[in-house]
């Protein structure tokens, strides 16, 4: 069975600093990986996804993530954050064994301080 | 614009009452999902449907029921058997595995 671990439940940073949100997964087969963002009292919005090909994936709002198969990781990065990036971020994985249903991590709350 | 509509945004009910949450999509997606979100718990799958007139239990289906009579609609009923129904409920849909899910804006249910 697939699972996702987001290693940090909260990440506080200052505005314009770089940030990395960590995500590790477990799966016995080829996976598809996603990052979503959730602003307070809203649904989730897709930031980026990895299906195949280049391991460096670029998404919206200046975010990018790198798929590392040997370390089973899919960490999310942004070189310079803004106050408006304050939100909760979810990593998700799907694979053929789960009939491609998404399994989500527990989320990382990114707080950007002035 | 295409999307998923969940209604109402906020819902209050007395303990022991059944309540139905609405989810409608005009994206022509085959698959639809219901998730429950609690603080620090991430998203947990309640039910999902990959085709009309068919649905499967997710990880926490006890105390919930669904129907899928139309492609566009996937309502969720929170029954009185659900021991702790107060939560944020999210509906999602997908067209295929490669595109991930499109989410609605959620319904916050409070049972008093």
Report how far residue B88's alpha carbon sits from residue B81's, in angstroms, rounded to the nearest whole number: 18
Compare CB distances from B100 to A42, A46, A106 and report the shortest one's residue.
Answer: A46
First to last CA, chain B: 36
Can you tell me the distance from the alpha carbon of A4 to that of A22, in angstroms, rounded to the nearest whole number?
11
Give me the phi and psi of A63, to 5 degrees please: -85, 150
Instruction: Say how many CA atoms lie within 13 Å of A29 toward its Cβ.
Output: 10
Cα A102 to Cα B22: distance, rounded to the nearest angstrom: 22
CB pairs under 8 A between A and B: 53
pLDDT tens-place string over residues B85-94: 999 999 999 9
CB atoms A43 and B104 under 8 Å:
yes
B105 vs A: CB within 8 A? yes
Which chain A residue is nearest to residue B106, measuring alpha carbons? A43
How far are the Cα atoms of B2, B20, B65, B69 from residue B76, in angstroms, in the given order? 21, 6, 6, 12
pLDDT of A29 over the 80 cut: no
Q: What is the pLDDT of residues B23-75, one digit of tens each?
A: 999 999 999 999 999 988 889 999 999 999 999 999 999 999 999 999 999 99
Among A34, A43, A90, the residue with its CB nearest the CB of B42 is A90
Q: How far apart are CA B37 and CA B52, in angstroms?
A: 25
pLDDT digits (tens, 9 = 90+) for A59-90: 999 999 999 999 999 999 999 999 999 999 99
Pick the residue of B23, B93, B97 with the most A CBs within 10 A to test the interface with A by mutation. B97
């Amino acid at each position: 069975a697939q699972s996702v671990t987001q290693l940090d439940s909260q990440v506080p940073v200052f505005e314009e600093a770089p940030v990395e949100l960590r995500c590790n997964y477990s799966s016995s087969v080829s996976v598809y990986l996603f990052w979503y963002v959730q602003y307070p009292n809203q649904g989730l919005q897709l930031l980026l996804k990895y299906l195949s090909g280049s391991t460096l994936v670029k998404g919206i709002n200046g975010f990018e993530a790198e798929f590392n198969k040997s370390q089973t990781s899919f960490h999310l990065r942004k070189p310079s954050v803004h106050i408006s990036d304050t939100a909760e971020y979810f990593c998700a994985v799907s694979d053929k064994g789960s009939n491609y249903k998404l399994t989500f991590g527990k989320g990382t709350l990114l707080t950007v301080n002035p | 614009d295409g999307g998923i509509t969940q209604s109402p945004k906020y819902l209050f009910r007395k303990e022991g009452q059944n309540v139905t949450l609405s989810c409608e999509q005009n994206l022509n997606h085959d698959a639809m999902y219901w998730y429950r979100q609690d603080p620090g718990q991430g998203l947990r799958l309640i039910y999902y449907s990959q085709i009309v007139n068919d649905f499967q239990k997710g990880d926490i289906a006890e105390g919930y029921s669904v129907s899928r009579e139309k492609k566009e609609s996937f309502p969720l009923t929170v029954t009185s058997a659900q021991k702790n129904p107060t939560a944020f409920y999210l509906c999602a849909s997908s067209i295929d595995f490669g595109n991930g899910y499109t989410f609605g804006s959620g319904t916050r249910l409070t049972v008093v």
